[in-house]
Amino acid sequence: MITTTNLTKKFDGVCALENVTCTIQNGCIYGMVGSNGAGKSTFLRVLSGVYKADGGEALLDGEPIWENPSTKAKIAYVPDELYYLPAANLMRMGKLYASLYPDFDWQTYKTLAKDLDLPTDRGINTFSKGMRRQALTILALSSKPEYIFFDETFDGLDPVMRSYIKKLICQDVVDRGATAIITSHSLRELEDTCDQLSLLHKGGLILESDVQRLKTAQYKIQIAFSEEYDKSKFEGIDIVHFVKHGSVSNMIVRGDKQETVTRLSAMGPVLLDVLPLTLEEVFTYEMEALGYSFNLD
Amino acid sequence: MKKTLFSKGLYVEGLRKLRVLGFIALALMIVIQIAGPITQYFSYLDWLEYSEPGEVYYPDTVSFDLVTLSVPLTAALVTPIMVLMLFSVFNKRSASDFYHSLPYTRVCLYLSNMAAVFTWIIGICVISGCVGLLAYISFPKLFSVVFDGAFNYLLTSVAFMLVSAGVCALGSAMTGTLFSNIAVSLLVMFLPRFILTVMTMEIGNNAWYLALDRLAVLSPTMNVYVGTLYYLFFEGDFPNFFENTAADIYTIVLGIIYIALALLVFTKRKSETATQPALSRAVQATVRILLTMVIGIFSVILFIEGEIAGCIIVTLISIVAYFAYELITTHRWKNCLRALPGLAIVLGISILCGAVMVGIPMISEKYTPDADDIDSVRFVDLTDNHEWFGKGTDKIKFDDPEILDIVAKTVKWNMKTYDTQYGGYITLGDSMYYTEEESNVYRTIAIKDGIFTRYRNVKFSSDDHEKILDILDEHEEYIKILKTLPTPADGTLDFYNGVQPGADASFYKKAFETLQEEIYELPLEDWYSIAKNMVGIEYGTSFDVSYWSDSYDSVDVWFPIPVDVFPRTFDMLLKTNELGYDERLGQFEKAVESFDKMEENYNHFDISATIYVPEEDGKAAIYRGDSTFAAYDMPHLWEDDRFKDGYVEALEKAKASDKKPSSTDGYIYMVINYEKLPEEDKKDEYKHRWEYLEIFLPIPEDFDPDEAGFLRMMEDAEVYEEKYW
């Protein structure tokens, strides 16, 4: 389990992470979204032991991460900015990882390289951006870590490869009970993969919830009445967002769906539709409710 | 343990990263090592082709440092490149993040990488050194390897390796770009010693009485790496570090400190330092300030010297350098503005340096102790590592009241007149001193005063110095050390000018023992003058002794053996010259008789000869030269065509004399100017070697002054030259 308490990191006086407190349970896929510069990469670097926190603490299974090899041995980190040895091919990088990670599994490495059709004897510098990311993902997964961190990992991957990589991550979590953290600036990339989602904004964690709850906790209702009405007509219903065009209103509502529908039906509407929300919409409305207003992508 | 201090995986990875450079360096060092033996081997083959049956090839004596030249070269040149190369990965953000995310501590990263560097360096040194050693010892006919000083030599190489590795590791740990890695490494390596040397020189210039060279730690050569470059640039030569164990140990300790400091900084280094010119603003400011001080120190000196215009110009240059560094490393004009307050620190350091440079002479000038205040005095005036005279005497303390009194008075006088060039007479107490330089004797002394020892260059009046020597002459321990010659190293003892054949090893030993006995009998003042080469010697009235000592780090011992100072030794040596004198006279006679015939074949300008003729008073008249020189020596034989007659006359005189030559240089010889020989007589095999040389050689016993005789003589000369020159 990963726990951070008031995690803070500053660069030249600029606060990249500010009092981030969160808990990431074992065996889950934790998604973290946020716009560019929100602090996602910094968060992962602190969790990987690359950065030392300026304040607060980050614990992995109750142990500090910074300068703690036994804890760091449980982690594989696939950064946004990829590193490979100059003029190295995938096999050379495999040997490097094998020498550095004692649990490196050559069978997994071979299988994944074959499945992804990556040549192991060709220089990685000749690979496309997507291929390099695949290569590094292979290496990270082959290291068999308990915790695996992906920073903007779907960047540069084509849709087919994106879903394959997601499948690989999910499989790894299911098969081995690993814990994954994936960061992205695009919520769409994460909504079908993650168990838990959080939103980082300007260094602060402003929302954290499990995906299922997020998806079901809010829903959109389209309703119309023949008579004139306004928002006050729906008093007692937890409306997160309300827009009225003519006689038709669109509402984002929080609370028990069945109970709300029963109540609205009793009002005799000429139109009543209940629509599911995309995760992106849930986030947008949640942010609005918290006083933030921005587009996630 | 494994992952906190050392990782085999990281170590192997480090070795891999360095393999291209490592193998190139290894190949280069092997080439350097075998180049000498190969060249010599081809010379040997050449010799074999042209040598006569029975001729002997004399092997070259090569020292251990030449045989394993690649060892210090690798340690000094390859180590810094490898360290910078390996640690430069931390200048790249992605690489830095990658390595810091690995399950190893920063200590482990650092130590594993350093171990990889040291493995390569030691590997290259061992392999190339062994190849060199094998290449030389495999040809015993060509080389005779001397292993003297091997330990010190290896110690110096270790010092090169450690200090360069430490400095570059520190430079890399402190900064995050290759430019700043190199810049800071250079600063760490050279700046402290540079500032120290400049300040020492300035203090020394203004206070000649401070014997700063006695404080070894102030010498640039204490750091073998800096010292080597210092000597190369300023002296055009390599310093003899391989004999300076103190410098080796100092540099090794310094290297270990730098390595430890680099480890400490590396553990504090953040991954985000990559691409940054320094790991923090404070470090960046420190580097910038120190860099500015390289130039700034000269503006301080110019200010002290009263060169205000120069001071202003240099100050402006240093300010430009200050901002230029900031701009080059950060690429932001705004940072120049932020760096502005740092100039105050530069000013502060400059004032501090200036205060030290002015203050030390001021404080030292005030040190004029009374005799009662001085516990003891040591005479430590050795100026050169190679100087043998007085070695070992510098540790003897003198507390003789008269010496202390002279020292106290002289120091007072010196301090009163230290800046007086033409001071004339100065009265101090009961004594009157004359400050004209020629009448004084400069000595370096160590004054023990309580817990302090102060080294001073002291200007003694010649009278006082004589008094001191008289007292020293009575000091048994001092005299014994001063008058005991260093033991000669095997085979190096030589007496010249011209000990004749017949002087075997036992003769040399006996002559040396006699010389030592005579030195013991000599008054100190005379021995001091001889050993310090302060006596004028008439040509031909002195032999010389020369050898490498077996003690005192192989110093070169040389001094003359004048007939009036060492008569017994002189006679012994002269007797060897008398051996075979009559025979040589006969040979010379044959040569002179054949001058006419020789002149048919050769221009007599090409021939010159020397003969020493004993005079009635026992001294020698020296006749020498070709036709021109002969005319100078014998004015009555001015005309060139009477050249031969001069020799005939000299020969007759020599034969008529019943005395042997009392000159040290009784070696009769002829000189042939090979360059002027007729073309048909110039053999190719001689030409390439002697085209521009004169050939000095003894007249062969079977000298035949015809054409064939000359050529044979020249062949003998080749053997002679190979053997002795």
Q: Which of B2, B91, B102 to mutate to test the interface with A (most CBs of A within 10 A)?
A: B102
Residue B254 pLDDT > 60:
yes
In chain A, residues under CATH classification 3.30.70 are 217-290
Spatial distance between the Cα atoms of A100 and B603, rounded to a whole number of angstroms:
85
pLDDT of residue B438: 53
Predicted confidence (pLDDT) per residue in A214-261, tens digit:
777 788 999 999 888 988 899 888 888 888 998 899 998 988 888 999
Provide the b/e sequence for B458-475 (b: ≥16 CB within 10 Å).
bbbbeebbebbbebbeeb
- Asked if A11 lies within 8 A of B272 by C-beta distance, the reply is yes
Query: What letter represents residue B532's amino acid?
Result: K
By the CB < 8 Å criterion, does A228 face chain B? no
What the block records as the tokens of B484 is 């005991």
Predicted confidence (pLDDT) per residue in A175-189, tens digit:
888 999 999 887 877
Q: How many CB pairs under 8 A join A and B?
A: 66
Single out the residue of B215, B207, B219 nearest to residue B458, CA to CA: B207
By the CB < 8 Å criterion, does B105 face chain A? yes
Predicted confidence (pLDDT) per residue in A146-177, tens digit:
999 999 888 878 888 888 888 989 988 888 88
Nearest Cα residue in chain A from B280: A12
Q: Which residues does chain A have within 8 Å of residue B4's beta carbon, measured at their own beta carbons?
A: 69
Spatial distance between the Cα atoms of B607 and B646, rounded to a whole number of angstroms:
14
Question: Domain segments of chain B: what residues?
Answer: 2-279, 371-483, 494-576, 580-724
pLDDT of residue B588: 59
Spatial distance between the Cα atoms of B379 and A114, rounded to a whole number of angstroms:
83
The average confidence (pLDDT) of chain A is 88
- Asked if A73 lies within 8 A of B3 by C-beta distance, the reply is yes
Predicted confidence (pLDDT) per residue in B422-434, tens digit:
445 544 445 555 5
Reduced to 3 states (helix: H, G, I; strand: E, B; else coil), residue B487 is coil
Residue B105 pLDDT > 70:
yes
Nearest chain B Cα distance for residue A130, angstroms: 17
Predicted confidence (pLDDT) per residue in B363-385, tens digit:
888 888 999 999 999 988 754 44
Spatial distance between the Cα atoms of B430 and B437, rounded to a whole number of angstroms:
21
Bridge partners (DSSP) listed for residue B559: B545
A-facing residues of B in 231-290 (CB < 8 A) are 270-272
- For the domain with range A217-290, which CATH number is right: 3.30.70, 1.10.10, 3.30.360, 1.10.3470? 3.30.70
Cβ atoms of B672 and B714 closer than 8 Å: yes
| Alpha-carbon distance values, B197 to B79, B223, B295 (Å) | 26, 12, 14
- Asked if B97 lies within 8 A of A45 by C-beta distance, the reply is yes
**Residue A13 burial by CB count (10 A; 0-12/13-18/19+): exposed, middle or buried?**
exposed
By the CB < 8 Å criterion, does A13 face chain B? no
More reliable by pLDDT, A80 or B613: A80
- Asked if A79 lies within 8 A of B98 by C-beta distance, the reply is yes
By the CB < 8 Å criterion, does A79 face chain B? yes
Single out the residue of B29, B17, B26, B30 nearest to residue B116, CA to CA: B17
Lowest mean pLDDT among A49-63, A90-104, B116-130, B606-620: B606-620
Predicted confidence (pLDDT) per residue in A33-64, tens digit:
887 788 999 999 999 999 999 999 999 999 99
Nearest chain B Cα distance for residue A78, angstroms: 9
pLDDT of residue B552: 55
Nearest chain B Cα distance for residue A85, angstroms: 8
- Asked if B108 lies within 8 A of A69 by C-beta distance, the reply is yes
Q: For the residues B131-135, what does the mean pLDDT come to?
A: 92
Query: What letter represents residue A208's amino acid?
Result: E
Q: Which residues does chain A have within 8 Å of residue B12's beta carbon, measured at their own beta carbons?
A: 99
| DSSP codes of every residue in B663-709 | SS----EEEEEGGGS-GGG--HHHHHHHTT-EEEEEPPTT---SHHH
Nearest Cα residue in chain B from A82: B94
For residue B529, what pLDDT band results from cuts at 50, 70 and 90?
confident
Cβ atoms of B133 and B35 closer than 8 Å: no
Spatial distance between the Cα atoms of A219 and B9, rounded to a whole number of angstroms:
54
By the CB < 8 Å criterion, does B7 face chain A? yes
A234-240 own/partner pairs: CB under 8 Å, 24+ apart: A234/A264, A236/A263, A237/A263, A237/A264, A240/A285, A240/A286, A240/A288, A240/A289
The contacts of residue B342 (CB under 8 Å, 6+ apart) are: B285, B288, B289, B322
Q: Which residues does chain A have within 8 Å of residue B100's beta carbon, measured at their own beta carbons?
A: 48-50
Reduced to 3 states (helix: H, G, I; strand: E, B; else coil), residue B62 is strand
- Asked if A100 lies within 8 A of B103 by C-beta distance, the reply is yes
> What dihedral do alpha carbons A124, B12, A47, A61 form, nearest 10°?
130
pLDDT of residue B714: 46
Q: Is the dihedral of CA B426, B428, B431, B433 positive or negative?
A: negative
Residue B270 pLDDT > 90:
no
**Between the ranges A84-88, A91-95, B2-6, where is the mean pLDDT highest?**
A91-95
Q: Which residues does chain B have within 8 Å of residue A46's beta carbon, measured at their own beta carbons?
A: none
Query: Cα B92–B98–B103 angle (5° rounding)?
Result: 145
Reduced to 3 states (helix: H, G, I; strand: E, B; else coil), residue B158 is helix
Cβ atoms of B591 and B699 closer than 8 Å: yes
pLDDT of residue B684: 46
Nearest chain B Cα distance for residue A82, angstroms: 6
Spatial distance between the Cα atoms of B197 and B191, rounded to a whole number of angstroms:
10
Strands A63-64 and A204-210: unpaired
**CA count, 13 A, side-chain hemisphere, B498:** 22
Spatial distance between the Cα atoms of A153 and A166, rounded to a whole number of angstroms:
10
For residue A85, what pLDDT band results from cuts at 50, 70 and 90?
confident
Cβ atoms of B339 and B326 closer than 8 Å: yes
Single out the residue of B36, B254, B253, B248 nearest to residue B154, CA to CA: B248
By the CB < 8 Å criterion, does B218 face chain A? no
What the block records as the tokens of B617 is 């008073």
**Residue B333 neighbours by CB distance under 10 Å:** 10
- Asked if B101 lies within 8 A of A85 by C-beta distance, the reply is no
Q: For the residues A194-208, what does the mean pLDDT come to?
A: 87
Strands A179-184 and A29-33: parallel
Lowest mean pLDDT among A259-273, B312-326, B401-415, B628-642: B628-642
pLDDT of residue B687: 37
pLDDT of residue A119: 92
By the CB < 8 Å criterion, does A43 face chain B? no
By the CB < 8 Å criterion, does B98 face chain A? yes
> What dihedral do alpha carbons B423, B429, B431, B434 form, nearest 10°?
-10
N- to C-terminal Cα distance for chain B? 62
Question: Which residue, chain included where needed, has tokens 């032991």?
Answer: A49
More reliable by pLDDT, B502 or B656: B656
Smallest Cβ–Cβ distance between B97 and the set A83, A99, A101 belongs to: A83
ipTM of the complex: 0.86
Spatial distance between the Cα atoms of B496 and B442, rounded to a whole number of angstroms:
31
- Asked if B94 lies within 8 A of A99 by C-beta distance, the reply is no
Q: For the residues B380-391, what does the mean pLDDT come to?
A: 64
**Residue B395 neighbours by CB distance under 10 Å:** 10
Q: Which of B98, B273, B280 to mutate to test the interface with A (most CBs of A within 10 A)?
A: B98
Predicted confidence (pLDDT) per residue in B139-176, tens digit:
888 888 877 778 888 899 999 999 999 999 999 999 99
Q: Which residues does chain B have within 8 Å of residue A45's beta carbon, measured at their own beta carbons?
A: 97, 101, 271
For residue B648, what pLDDT band results from cuts at 50, 70 and 90?
low
- Asked if A99 lies within 8 A of B8 by C-beta distance, the reply is yes
The average confidence (pLDDT) of chain B is 77
By the CB < 8 Å criterion, does B1 face chain A? no
In total, chain A counts a number of residues equal to 297
pLDDT of residue B383: 46
Is A2-202 CATH 3.40.50.300? yes
Spatial distance between the Cα atoms of A144 and B136, rounded to a whole number of angstroms:
55
- Asked if A72 lies within 8 A of B103 by C-beta distance, the reply is yes
Phi-psi map region of A6: left, alpha, beta (phi>0 left; psi -120 to 50 alpha): left
Q: Could you give the maximum distance between any two Cα atoms of chain A, in Å?
A: 75
- Asked if A72 lies within 8 A of B108 by C-beta distance, the reply is no
Give all strands of the β-sheet with A271-275 in edge-to-edge order: A238-245, A248-254, A218-224, A271-275
Q: Which residues does chain A have within 8 Å of residue B3's beta carbon, measured at their own beta carbons?
A: 69-70, 73
Spatial distance between the Cα atoms of B541 and B322, rounded to a whole number of angstroms:
65
Smallest Cβ–Cβ distance between B9 and the set A49, A52, A99 belongs to: A99
pLDDT of residue B507: 80
Q: Which residues does chain A have within 8 Å of residue B14's beta carbon, measured at their own beta carbons?
A: none
For residue B178, what pLDDT band results from cuts at 50, 70 and 90?
very high
pLDDT of residue B538: 65
Single out the residue of B261, B3, B260, B273 nearest to residue B112, CA to CA: B3
Spatial distance between the Cα atoms of B409 and B403, rounded to a whole number of angstroms:
10
Predicted confidence (pLDDT) per residue in B595-624, tens digit:
555 555 444 444 555 555 554 544 444 444
Nearest Cα residue in chain B from A71: B103
- Asked if A73 lies within 8 A of B9 by C-beta distance, the reply is no
pLDDT > 90: percent of chain B: 27
Smallest Cβ–Cβ distance between A99 and the set B12, B17, B270 belongs to: B12
Residue B681 pLDDT > 60:
no
Smallest Cβ–Cβ distance between A81 and the set B3, B13, B93 belongs to: B93
By the CB < 8 Å criterion, does A82 face chain B? yes
Nearest chain A Cα distance for residue B114, angstroms: 17
Predicted confidence (pLDDT) per residue in B43-68, tens digit:
888 888 877 666 677 777 787 888 88
- Asked if A49 lies within 8 A of B8 by C-beta distance, the reply is no
- Asked if A69 lies within 8 A of B100 by C-beta distance, the reply is no
Spatial distance between the Cα atoms of B90 and B607, rounded to a whole number of angstroms:
74
Reduced to 3 states (helix: H, G, I; strand: E, B; else coil), residue B352 is helix
- Asked if B106 lies within 8 A of A67 by C-beta distance, the reply is yes
Q: Which residues does chain A have within 8 Å of residue B263's beta carbon, measured at their own beta carbons?
A: none
Nearest chain A Cα distance for residue B325, angstroms: 20
Nearest chain B Cα distance for residue A124, angstroms: 15
- Asked if A45 lies within 8 A of B108 by C-beta distance, the reply is no
